[in-house]
Structure formats: C-alpha cells, structure tokens
Amino acid sequence: MDNYEELLKLVLEAVKDKQANTLTKEDLSKIPVGISNRHVHLSEKDIESLFGKDYKLTKFKDLSQTGQYACNEVLTICGPKGAIERVRVLGPERSKTQVEVLMGDCIKLGVKQHVKLSGDLSGTAGVTLIGPKGSVQLEEGVVVAQRHIHMTKEDAKNLDVCNGDIVSIKIDDLRGGIYSNVAIRANDTSKLECHLDIEEANAMGISSKTKITIVK
C-alpha cells in the first residue's frame, strides 16, 4: 500500500511539473524582447590575428540564448569614412567573422547597408577590425540584422508559424506600432525571444520589459 501511494505521489508531481513547464498559445502570445547593440562574432583564425596566437575569448556575461555570451574583448571597426571604438565581441567563435551594426553605423563607417539574417554574408560590405595584437581586413561580413524571433519548434507549432516564415509584430506601448519583415527562426534549442536592434527599439519606445505579439 505504501509503495502504491508513493508511486501515485510521484506520478502526480510529474504531471504538475509538465503542466508548469508547458506554455499555452495564450502564454506565447506575448513574446519577450531582446535588444541588441552593435557587436562582432569572430572566427578562430581572426581571433588569433586580433588577440594573439592560441588566444581564447573570455566571458563577460551569459546572454539569453543558450550557449551565447558577451566577451570582455572589444575591437575597433574601421570603414572608409570613420571608425567605431570598443565594439563588444560575442562568443563562442564562429566559422566566419560577422560584424553586426546599426543603420546609423553604416553611414558613419561609410559602408553600404545590407539587412540580413545572421550567417547570410554573401555580397555584404567589408571593414577593417583592429585588436590589441593586429588587424583583419574583411572583404565581406558587415550586416544590419534583420528583425527575427527565436523559438523552439514546439513554440512555432503552438504559434502556427514555421521556421523561415516572415511575419509582422505589434507593439502596444505608448509609441508602439507594427514592424513587418520579421523572420521566424525555430530550432530545438532556442529560447522564445524577439530580437530587435537598439535603433528599432528606440523608435517605438521598446524596453527589455516590452512584450510583442505576432500578427499576420
């Protein structure tokens, strides 16, 4: 009898935990926002060119997406018309170096604006990166990040969207409105979060406490 009651208790606790961790469509309707500033993702080769042989990036703080973190390391970005100092490096290292800037940064640097999803670097502008131990001349890799929403495949199913879909989002704050051309990025590990850059956030008075809604 005691074993039966103990087993029943464990089953009920497991069901309760599952219910607590399962987001309903109503729960998902208000999506949190992550606001990003300019930053750089570096390849292993470029890390060594900028910081020295066998150098490893050092963590400053974890970011909201699993395995992503801001580093202590900073760089200077140089373009044909100007430079931006102390640009944060994000880890971990990537297969290709990618420089994510704001629209206004492109004007200051003197490079063409290319709105792209992360990793889509073909045909983008190049800049020079300067670190404490050297510099790297990029032929391409400068992007203005396209608005996007990270989520799991289960989240996507519950929200009736698919990886790669383009949707609009609604912001209900005082200066809010609707942003279009927002890409859905769904995989097995992402945390639900809409990513906007700081210019986009400021334009509609968005903060880290703002919640957005998908509209189609």
In terms of C-beta density within 10 A (0-12 exposed, 13-18 middle, 19 or more buried), how is residue 206 classed? buried
Which residue from 107, 117, 53 is spatially nearest to 79, judged by alpha carbons?
107
Confidence (pLDDT) at 216? 79
* Percent of the chain whose predicted confidence (pLDDT) is above 90: 82
**pLDDT tens digits, one per residue of 127-155:** 999 999 999 999 999 999 999 999 999 99
**pLDDT tens digits, one per residue of 76-124:** 999 999 999 999 999 999 999 999 999 999 999 999 999 999 999 999 9
In terms of C-beta density within 10 A (0-12 exposed, 13-18 middle, 19 or more buried), how is residue 166 classed? middle
Q: Is the pLDDT of residue 8 over 90?
A: no
Higher pLDDT, 13 or 70: 70
Phi/psi at 157 (5° precision): -60, -45
From start to end of 161-216, where are the E strands?
A: 166-171, 178-187, 193-197, 211-215
The chain-wide mean pLDDT, for the chain, equals: 90
Q: Is the pLDDT of residue 29 over 90?
A: no
Confidence (pLDDT) at 1? 46
Q: Is the pLDDT of residue 18 over 50?
A: no
| One-letter-per-residue 3-state SS of 103-149 | HHHHHHHCCCCCEECCCCCCCCECCEEECCCCEEECCCCEEEECCEE
Mean pLDDT, rounded, for 31-55: 97
Which residue from 119, 107, 111, 123 is spatially nearest to 148, judged by alpha carbons?
119
Mean pLDDT, rounded, for 39-45: 98
Confidence (pLDDT) at 19? 44
Q: Are 38 and 100 in contact (CB under 8 A)?
A: yes
Q: Is the pLDDT of residue 15 over 70?
A: no
Query: Model confidence at 63, in pLDDT bands (50, 70, 90)?
Result: very high
What is the Cα–Cα distance from 24 to 192, expressed in whole angstroms? 13
Single-letter code of the amino acid located at 34: G
Provide the whole-model pTM: 0.84
